[in-house]
Amino acid sequence: MATFGHLPYPPADLDAYLAKNYGADIQRAEIADSKVRYRLALRGGDVVGYCMMGVLSMPVDDARGVELHRLYVDESVKGAGVAAALMDDCIAWARSQHCDITLDGLGMLVEQAAEAFRLWHGQAPDTDPIYDELRAGAVALHTAE
């Protein structure tokens, strides 16, 4: 809730989402599912982060595909490399499942920015050079940590 609780979601929508996706029985079933991978980050005996990967819920035509469903870290460890370590584990697990395509999220990043630009300026920018520059590593991408 620390990360998203401040957003103006209608309380009924947030409550419905949380009830549908979180709870001891739900997480117990996910953890028992051989097609789901949970990885916990611990400090002492406390969970300070976790990620969950599993079958695709997105409309992607890839029989071997997996999806990162959740990656959360506690405020106290943001910037300490916990999210990066969890992400590295996710990628390694996906590769172990013979996933050979990675959807990096750049489409959402670039196209949402392009749509905002179009709404503001009345014309859509050419996004191909932006993808090329980002994928070439000419621009450093940083997490919100």
Same domain, 50 and 86: yes
d(CA 134, CA 53): 25
Share of the chain above pLDDT 90, in %: 16
Total count of domains within the chain: 3
- Residue 60's domain is classified under what CATH number? 3.40.630.30
pTM (2 decimals)? 0.63
- For tokens 């990043």, the residue is 109
Mean pLDDT of 126-141: 70
Of 69, 70, 109, 68, the C-alpha closest to 92 is 68
DSSP one-letter string for 11-43? HHHHHHHHHHH-SHHHHHHHHH-TT-EEEEEEE
Residue pointed to by tokens 């599912």: 33
d(CA 44, CA 2): 21
Looking up tokens 């910037």, which residue turns up?
A: 79
> Is there a single domain that holds both residue 8 and residue 49?
no
pLDDT in tens, 58-100: 667 777 778 888 888 999 998 898 988 998 888 888 888 888 6
Q: Rounded to whole angstroms, how far apart are CA atoms 86 and 133?
A: 26
CB proximity list for 17: less than 8 A, separation 6 or greater: 9
Residues 14 and 61 in one domain: no
State residue 103's pLDDT score: 61
Domain range for 25: 1-32
Whole-number Å distance between alpha carbons of 90 and 82: 12
